[in-house]
Structure 1
């Protein structure tokens, strides 16, 4: 993510904390609501004089927008715009929900499962591993196979299984399916 996008997200965070609307910020700075909305979402850049107007309204120093370095202390909070993203394959995008991918026992991730490609084969290969996993369906329909039994899971449904049972999941719809997964033990954890 570029620095301009990070600054935009930071401004949205400050504006929300102060309970200021985009309309209010627009009126106070003379910048259009559309521009401010695009900047907060990281879709455009901003001139320094406009950024200075925003800083004044939000009652922060202009320099605070440029201090984008991470503190030296251990970081426990991951902001929505800071999530590490991994493209697993053409159908799966994973978002890390922790900055401790290799040190904690639990591995929480948000997963977007794209609709299947037309040439994708219909059979779902089951696999197993050590530990346990929890899956919560946030959006869409997840097809889950657990030990040869197929389930259609909907938003709000969840699965908690010992991972030694053969299992796998897929999206067989035309829409994105979003799930929250938590694995234990963390397969990425470094020993020692």
Structure 2
């Protein structure tokens, strides 16, 4: 672990380019952080993340998971959706108000989708004002950088549909294959990584809702 925090400068690679999904997210984190007059250290402290990791995310070197991004968004007083291009989401918005106690999503419904680095998140349900679960279909491409283990409020469940996934919980790695699942209190430090050469598809359910 580096003993000195990274510089506020973007480094040899320059600021994050908004031509890639990771670049879009990183550039917007940097922009919103600067608008609030926060240093990397200040944002890292508020979001519960490391300075080095946030620096890499801002430069588009590392991607950030939705739950960690949720903490960053809260610290910057923004919604998670603010960090993505409008073109990455395609909500099937209806004028009719949603019922408070349930939603119904058909297979043909165009649902919201977000791309962050190696991971593509497809929301599996519409917004329900009294519902707390966030169900998602997640496609995790191989490669990329491993994120730091991270804890946050709520619970997390992941079920592997295809491919394999390394899921680290409290420093212990568990290899998940199709049909395997993990369910944990999200305050426990955890992270996931696809170390294979093919895409892994997972059904993930987290609390609280991110959007």
Question: Normalising to structure 1: TM-score of the pair?
Answer: 0.55
Residue 130 of structure 1 corresponds to which residue in structure 2? 153
Q: Which one of the candidate residues 85, 88, 98 is aligned to 2:125?
A: 98
Tell me how far 1:83 sits from its aligned partner: 1.9
SS, match of residue 151 in structure 1: strand
Q: Which one of the candidate residues 163, 170, 176 is aligned to 2:193?
A: 170
String of CA shifts for 1:74-94, please: whole Å, max 9, x gaps. Answer: 3722233412111122x1100
- Cα distance in 1 for partners of 2:160, 2:198 equals 14
Q: Name which one, 1 or 2, has greater alpha-carbon Rg.
A: 1
Cα RMSD of the aligned pairs, angstroms, is 2.3
2:98–2:128: 8 Å Cα contact kept in structure 1? Answer: no
2:162–2:200: 8 Å Cα contact kept in structure 1? Answer: yes
- Cα distance in 2 for partners of 1:161, 1:168 equals 12
Q: Which one of the candidate residues 170, 182, 187 is aligned to 2:205?
A: 182
SS, match of residue 112 in structure 1: strand
Change in Cα spacing, 1:87 to 1:103, as seen in structure 2 (3 Å) is farther
String of CA shifts for 1:137-167, please: whole Å, max 9, x gaps. Answer: 1110011000000011001101000001100
Q: How many residues align?
A: 116
- Cα distance in 1 for partners of 2:188, 2:166 equals 16
1:101–1:107: 8 Å Cα contact kept in structure 2? Answer: no
Change in Cα spacing, 1:100 to 1:145, as seen in structure 2 (3 Å) is same
Change in Cα spacing, 1:102 to 1:114, as seen in structure 2 (3 Å) is farther
In the alignment, structure 1 segments of 5+ residues that lack a partner are 1-67
- Cα distance in 1 for partners of 2:129, 2:121 equals 16
Change in Cα spacing, 1:148 to 1:102, as seen in structure 2 (3 Å) is farther
Question: Normalising to structure 2: TM-score of the pair?
Answer: 0.50
Residue 172 of structure 2 corresponds to which residue in structure 1? 149
Change in Cα spacing, 1:69 to 1:132, as seen in structure 2 (3 Å) is closer
Q: Which one of the candidate residues 88, 92, 96 is aligned to 1:72?
A: 96
Residue 85 of structure 1 corresponds to which residue in structure 2? 113
1:141–1:152: 8 Å Cα contact kept in structure 2? Answer: yes
Q: Which one of the candidate residues 155, 163, 183 is aligned to 1:140?
A: 163
